[in-house]
Amino acid sequence: MRNAGPSTSSIRVMQSFGPPRPTTNPYIHMLDAALAETAGVEHLHFDRRRALLGRYDALHLHWPELLLRGSTPSRTLARRAFATALRLRLSVTRVAVLHTVHNVRPHSDATRWERRYLAWLDRRVDHRIVLNQQTELAPGSASTLIPHGHYRDWFAAVPSVPSTPGLLSFVGLVRPYKGVEDLLDAFASTASTAPGLRLRVAGSPASAAIEREVRERAESDARVELDFRYLSEPEFANAVMESAGVVLPFRFMHNSGSALAALSLRRPVLVPRTGVNEALAREVGPGWVTMFDGALTGADLERFAAGTRQLPTASPDLSAREWASAGDSHRAAYVAAVARRRSGARS
């Protein structure tokens, strides 16, 4: 049912994201669409003036560290000034605060000021939304489990393409914590034992430094293909589907939209062994999620590549990740957060 707008029974919720753009994380696109269709939720995009002066019942945070950082020193300073004013607003009003725990810690290094602010904001949160059952919260924290939705509908319009036997890929933004350098080192060790394997790294580097480091590691191996550019959603899907399997050698992984995107496109994934990934492997069924222990090795890559030669007949089971129920689940979390804040209970 489409949101009919404000009413006495609607809860007014401001997200920490603005109107999604083409480059916005697909999770945000899909959540935005789900909330817009949810009866009983007045869904507001983030607006700094409204955040400080407007009326809303709850503020829903996703990656709160992004509120504190700008692309230039002057913009970062302006964002800090806004964050300080927002702290005052949240300290003197009964606006409920929710946080979707995408990561158990920020991916990027935080400054001392950011760490202090984020610690205060974490204490101010009334309700947390977790994407998996393995997310550990402080005792007494109020929370709702809403699994990260799949990407099948998101990629539905992209024509299917056949996989290329022996082609392993890393697809997505190239960032230090994702371990692409480790992947290249492991892949280099397969030169004599699996000369027919190929590796593609496709995605935009986070910095010139990491691009340079990856290029240096790859330059001596003709089996490696680098495609360093921002990928549109169809290009991302094609890069995944052309692969026999997708390798995600993250040095730290909690929730992974990349893994779900690959599985949504019926491509197996190689991921580090964690409690979250073990649960994902059980959920989607045998043959789709392969895990490695400790540092990624060439043997891990060869074992994974061998497994991609015969995929299961059944697609990965992602039935627990339908977006149709996500809006109602979020509304229930919003109602609980507002009730908790207004009752004076602390998370």
All domains in the chain, ordered by first residue: 11-149+322-343 (3.40.50), 167-320 (3.40.50.2000)
Residues 35 and 248: their CA atoms lie apart, in Å, by 30
Residue 346: pLDDT band with limits 50, 70, 90: low
Note the pLDDT tens digit of each residue in 278-290.
Answer: 999 999 999 999 9
Residues 126 and 346: their CA atoms lie apart, in Å, by 7
Q: What is the mean pLDDT of residues 101-121?
A: 84
Q: Is 12 helix (H, G, I), strand (E, B) or coil?
A: strand
Residues 155 and 265: their CA atoms lie apart, in Å, by 8
Is the pLDDT score of 239 beyond 80? yes
Q: Residue 168 is which amino acid?
A: L
Q: What is the mean pLDDT of residues 80-95?
A: 97
Residues 51 and 63: their CA atoms lie apart, in Å, by 16
Give the pTM. Answer: 0.89
Residue 324: pLDDT band with limits 50, 70, 90: confident
Is the pLDDT score of 89 beyond 50? yes
Residues 276 and 337: their CA atoms lie apart, in Å, by 26
Closest C-alpha among 220, 221, 201 to residue 211: 201
- For the chain, the average pLDDT equals 93
Is the pLDDT score of 2 beyond 70? no
Residues 38 and 35: their CA atoms lie apart, in Å, by 5
Residues 220 and 188: their CA atoms lie apart, in Å, by 9
Residues 289 and 292: their CA atoms lie apart, in Å, by 10
Closest C-alpha among 101, 85, 64 to residue 254: 101
Identify whether the C-beta of residue 240 lies closer than 8 Å to the C-beta of residue 169.
Answer: yes
pLDDT value of residue 7? 44
Residue 5: pLDDT band with limits 50, 70, 90: very low
